[in-house]
């Protein structure tokens, strides 16, 4: 049986921590390992940061959406969606070290980090309409405790 939640929050840097905590709290019922929880929080953090910084140019009037789903097989699906600038070349944006921000402020490793912690990362984007990042994480089988 699937469980899910969806929420929206202002595109403000301080809400990145809120999104991380909300995703972690939602998947806590699965009793993930500390490592799994950290990976989920980091993936959400990177995706939310991208929406706030690159999607909206840090415009606090805009909204970021976070959707989390838990599937019956301990699979977690996380979606971060914005209606911002969009990405002209998704494949280029996924390359390590690529950034549209100031190189002295941004490492260009957001998608690389997401991909290293998740089992699958899908990015759909349309210039001027926004971006959706879908991250899938298969949790290990619990101990049954």
Neighbours of 136 (CB within 10 A): 16
Respond yes or no: is residue 50 known to be catalytic: yes
Specify the 3-state DSSP secondary structure of 115.
helix
User: Of the listed 106, 115, 120, 129, which one is catalytic?
Assistant: 106
First to last CA, the chain: 20
Neighbours of 129 (CB within 10 A): 11
User: Of the listed 16, 39, 46, 65, which one is catalytic?
Assistant: 46
User: Of the listed 16, 36, 39, 50, which one is catalytic?
Assistant: 50
Cα–Cα distance for residue pair 80/99, rounded to 1 Å: 19
Residues with active-site annotation: 46, 50, 106
């Amino acid at each position: 049986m699937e469980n899910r939640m969806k929420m929206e929050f202002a595109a403000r840097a301080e809400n990145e921590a809120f999104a991380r905590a909300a995703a972690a709290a939602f998947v806590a019922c699965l009793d993930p390992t500390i490592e799994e929880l950290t990976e989920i929080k980091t993936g959400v953090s990177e995706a939310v940061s991208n929406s706030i910084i690159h999607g909206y140019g840090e415009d606090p009037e805009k909204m970021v959406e976070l959707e989390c789903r838990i599937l019956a097989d301990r699979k977690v699906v996380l979606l971060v969606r914005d209606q911002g600038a969009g990405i002209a070349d998704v494949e280029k944006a996924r390359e390590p070290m690529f950034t549209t921000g100031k190189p002295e402020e941004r490492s260009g490793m957001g998608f690389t980090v997401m991909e290293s912690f998740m089992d699958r990362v899908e990015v759909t984007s349309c210039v001027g309409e926004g971006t959706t990042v879908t991250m899938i994480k298969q949790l290990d089988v619990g101990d049954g405790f």
